[in-house]
Structure 1
Amino acid sequence: MQQAGFLDQRAKLGGRVAVVIGGGGGIGAAITLALAGAGVDVALCDIDGTELEATVKAATATGRRVHGDVLDATDPAALDAFYDSVTTVFGHADIVVNVVGGTFRTAFMEIDRAGISADIQRNYGYVVQSVQRAVPLLRAGGMRGGSIVNFTTIEAHRGAATFAVYAGAKAATTNFTRSIAVELGKEGIRVNCIAPDTTPSRGNQVAMPPEVGARFANVRPEAIGEAMAMYIPAGSSPPVDALADAVLFLASDLSAFVSGMTLHVDGGTMAAAGFLDWPHGDGFVPVPLGGTTPLMFPGEDNT
């Protein structure tokens, strides 16, 4: 208990106000509940009314003030209306987390212009609007400065074939975060990114084409786990709570001098940069060697 009290004293999260864009389900719900559990009042919005209602109820049970609105954060008018309501209810904010994002897997030349615009808006455009609306709330806070956390992705840092527009939009969010961190630094407003990779979220499931999802339905769960262990150096996908913990760190005074940075919460996949832990004795190499290759391509001359 003494150790927990010591960390709480250093983090200084209790009594602060957070805004979570996309805080109703999945990763966003884990973040909302982690903040509320740390003594933070929370305003959240989400497109899914059922999930938002459940998260608001759970967050309220912690004893914190909670305000929730159902809306599509990629709709500029709806997002403005939400920030207006946050201003009315709380008057200020200390923490802002932009979680909303998502995409679909398809070849670039097969995406129509409406799809391109939608991908850019939900992964970059709304973030710019949210930050611009958030800064006055942070300036109005009782404490100097504040923390903005934008969700980006590992795909912003590598060539993501069949996710080109998404990767480009997330890269824009990453560099926007760096730039605005520099611009707002002297006000004590810190701006950082969290870059997940594969996580057990609804967004990752939706990103798969139906035919890919159908093929996964016929794969043993153990086999999927073994495949993830090959890809992720940590051996498994980070749970949503690991992302929530990263938000708590970046939102708190434990990261008081961290700004303009991207925190990769991915179990080491960014560090691995394509090195997979192949089975059958091949180990960590970019492509399978003599142990795995003959099993992948049976009947061929692999000598």
Structure 2
Amino acid sequence: MANELDGRIALVTGASRGLGRDIAARLAAAGAAVALVDRKARWSEDFAQEIESAGGRAIALGCDVSDREALHAAFDAAVEALGGLDVVVNNAMWTRYAPVEQIEKESLDRMLGVGIAGIVWGTQAAARYMRPRGGGAIVNIASVSARMGLPNAMVYCGIKAAVEGMTRSAAIELAPAGIRVNAVAPSTIATEGVRAMLDEAAFAARVASTPLGRLGETTDIAEAVLFFADSARSGFVTGQSLLVDGGISIALR
């Protein structure tokens, strides 16, 4: 398999498990050195060692992405350790679902902090390091929920719609610096967390509502992220949100 990202340096937030972990693994497999940013470094330290043992380069960094100073410091540490920055994947998200009348201030503040402020601070820090290098790629993780209403998910749907809006705005602003900003918008992905959350009937219903007849896998999303990260594939693409949803967003079922 070609090493599309040989010599590139990537940073992935929320990288210790689930979707973020598989995105980081795919970028590492493509040849990138990877900074694994998660709320507690110990969550991603073993993963960094796995990447190193396989012949790659990785560093684990603990950081709450909603904290601007902490996230900027993590970027500083990544650049110092790995030598630069070419790709940033703003993946981290903290989610609590609740009916409209039961949304709590603490949950709202936390979701907004991670899901919106985290992307603002991550994009800000990425631009600071990518400008001197003549460009780079920022990939935000959005969701099909940005375009579809879901019950008990008012805040989540709103945040993911905001992610798409922020992606378009940042793409226009950063384009003169050669920085491309795009988003990947998954539908329900068959992670361990989703499987634990959905009972057998609910899981089957999600599958039945998807035209391609299955839920997405984390590898499906990781490949889409790699597309945007690789300038040879997507060097003339910016400000886009790619739906990776098995057709659910265009189906009437």
Contact 2:40 2:61 in 1 (8 A): no
Aligned to 2:172: 182
Aligned AA (1:249): F
| 1:195-274 → structure 2 map (5 Å cutoff) | 195-201=185-191, 204=194, 216=199, 219=200, 226-252=204-230, 253-272=232-251
Aligned to 2:156: 166
The CA distance in 2 between the partners of 1:114 and 1:102, in whole Å, is 12
Which residue is 2:86 aligned to?
94
| Structure 1: distance between partners of 2:81 and 2:214 | 40
Query: What are the Cα deviations for residues 184-235 of structure 1, in whole angstroms up to 9, with x where unaligned?
Result: 11221100001111112355468x5xxxx6xx2xx4xxx5564233111111
User: What TM-score does the superposition give when structure 1 sets the normalisation length?
Assistant: 0.77
- In the TM superposition, what is the alpha-carbon distance from 1:268 to its structure 2 partner? 1.2
Distance in 1 of aligned mates of 2:194 and 2:173: 33
Aligned-partner Cα distance in 1 for 2:88–2:206? 32
Gaps (5+ residues) in structure 1? Answer: 277-303
CA-CA distance at 1:156 after TM superposition? 0.9
Whether contact under 8 Å (1:199, 1:237) holds in the other structure is yes
The one-letter amino acid paired with 1:120 is L
Question: Which 4+ runs in 1 deviate beyond 6 A?
Answer: none
Report deviation, 1:63: 1.9
Deviation at 1:49?
A: 4.7
> Within 5 Å, which residues of 2 pair with 1:126-145?
126-141=118-133, 144-145=134-135
CA–CA distance in structure 1, aligned partners of residues 105 and 64 of structure 2: 20
In the alignment, what sits opposite 2:139? 149
1:41 aligns with 2:20: no
1:140 partner SS: helix
Task: Quote the residue 1:15 is aligned against.
Answer: 7
SS of the equivalent of 2:250 reads helix
Query: Match of 1:73, as an amino acid?
Result: V
| Distance across 2 between alignment mates of 1:190 and 1:57 | 30
Once superposed, what is the RMSD of the aligned Cα atoms? 2.0
**Structure whose alpha-carbon radius of gyration is higher:** 1
| Code of the aligned partner of 1:269 | I
Q: TM-score, normalised by structure 2?
A: 0.91
Length, aligned pairs only: 252
Aligned partner letter, 1:52? S
Alignment equivalent of 1:24, drawn from 3, 13, 16 = 16
| Partner-residue secondary structure (3-state), 2:49 | helix
1:103-142 Cα distance to aligned partner (Å, 9 max, x none): 222112211222211121121111001100111111233x
Q: Quick one: percent identity of the two aligned structures?
A: 34
8 A Cα contact 1:228 1:235, kept in partner: no
Distance 2:51 2:203 in 1: 32
Q: Distance in 2 between matches of 1:92 and 1:111?
A: 41
For the 8 Å contact 1:102–1:203, the answer to whether it is kept is no
1:75 counterpart residue number: 67
Can you list the C-alpha shifts for 1:254-302, whole angstroms capped at 9, x where unaligned? Answer: 0111110001111111122xx23xxxxxxxxxxxxxxxxxxxxxxxxxx
- Aligned mates of 2:131, 2:109 — CA distance in 1: 32
CA contact (8 A) 1:154 1:197 kept: yes
CA distance in 2 between partners of 1:63 and 1:239 (Å): 25
